[in-house]
């Protein structure tokens, strides 16, 4: 069912989104797969810092949606709480409390009661840094100096080995930095990490095999003619693209035999075209 704040993004669609994200698909591939705009996909990912949430499990003994529908139908036909409870093999008090906390017999609706129960079941445990202010301040201070989580953990083990309140794993630091909705550490902390990414990416993330990593009609080096392979003929060129700061680029062309080098300064807007034409030591 659709949730408030995420219009049109059903639970099934979110599950598919997270499955694709864990499989290493990019945001562009995901949005085409589920049929949603980039903003919607990125918003869901950013809310959790790019870390897939653990699937929620109902507490043992709690009422299921099917049981709540039975209660709703029983109330509509005028059955007593005792008759409904006997049919469900539940205690009468369980049925009466369920009806009372969801508007009474006249207003009880199964789907509304299920959503309210799901919201009441949300009892997120505060993360470690939220429970230990001293540890949080130390982590934030060292992160502000661009220390990596692994370096912070090593520093704490070296200087606070006998203090159990100053123990933390690098994974906890990463999760606290990327999951900004926890509001445990400043939002800017994620940008101080080595990658500088706003969300965490899965280790399987790669553009290998995706459409954006392919050069259309590329000529592989294995098919170059013997004259280019053995450097016996002039006119066989190798091209590369060099990127600099402020979106600056230059293309280089080297003759296979004479080693004559030609360097061409490129405009920023030509980056994609030159990369497709010359990057990767393709023979021109």
Per run of 10 residues, the mean pLDDT along the chain (length 284 residues) is: 52 87 84 86 85 76 90 93 93 94 92 86 79 91 89 92 90 86 80 79 63 67 86 90 85 93 78 38 39
- Of 208, 267, 223, nearest to 241 (Cα)? 267
Q: How far apart are CA 54 and CA 127, in angstroms?
A: 15
Count CB-CB contacts under 10 A for residue 152.
20
Q: Cβ(147)–Cβ(139) under 8 Å?
A: no
| pLDDT score for 225 | 87
Span 137-188, pLDDT tens digits: 999 999 888 899 999 999 999 999 889 899 999 989 988 888 877 788 887 7
Burial call 78-89: b when 16+ CB within 10 Å, e when fewer: ebebeebbeebe
DSSP H helical ranges for the chain: 11-22, 27-34, 38-47, 65-76, 81-88, 92-100, 110-120, 128-131, 133-144, 149-159, 170-178, 226-229, 271-278
> The pTM is what?
0.52
In angstroms, the CA 157 to CA 137 distance is 16
140, 152, 157, 170, 179 from 149: Cα distances, Å? 10, 5, 12, 5, 15
């Amino acid at each position: 069912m659709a949730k408030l704040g995420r219009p049109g993004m059903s639970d099934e669609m979110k599950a598919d989104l997270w499955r694709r994200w864990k499989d290493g698909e990019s945001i562009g591939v995901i949005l085409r797969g589920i049929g949603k705009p980039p903003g919607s996909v990125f918003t869901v990912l950013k809310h959790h810092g790019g870390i897939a949430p653990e699937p929620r499990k109902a507490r043992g003994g709690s009422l299921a949606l099917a049981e709540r529908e039975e209660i709703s139908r029983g109330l509509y036909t005028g059955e007593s709480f005792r008759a409904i409870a006997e049919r469900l093999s539940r205690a009468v008090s369980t049925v009466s409390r369920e009806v009372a906390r969801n508007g009474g017999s006249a207003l009880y609706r199964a789907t509304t009661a299920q959503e309210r129960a799901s919201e009441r079941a949300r009892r997120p445990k505060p993360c470690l840094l939220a429970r230990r202010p001293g540890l949080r301040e130390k982590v934030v201070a060292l992160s502000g100096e661009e220390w990596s989580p692994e370096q912070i953990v090593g520093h704490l083990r070296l200087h606070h080995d006998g203090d159990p309140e100053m123990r933390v794993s690098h994974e906890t630091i990463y999760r606290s930095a990327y999951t900004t909705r926890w509001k445990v550490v400043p939002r800017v902390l994620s940008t101080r990490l080595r990658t500088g990414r706003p969300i965490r990416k899965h280790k399987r993330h790669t553009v290998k095999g995706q459409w954006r990593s392919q050069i259309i009609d590329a000529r592989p080096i294995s098919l170059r003619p013997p004259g280019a392979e053995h450097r016996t003929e002039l006119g066989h060129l190798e091209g590369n693209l060099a990127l600099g700061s402020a979106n600056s680029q230059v293309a280089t062309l080297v003759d296979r035999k004479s080693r004559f080098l030609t360097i061409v300064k490129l405009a920023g807007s030509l980056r994609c075209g030159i990369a497709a034409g010359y990057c990767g030591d393709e023979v021109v």
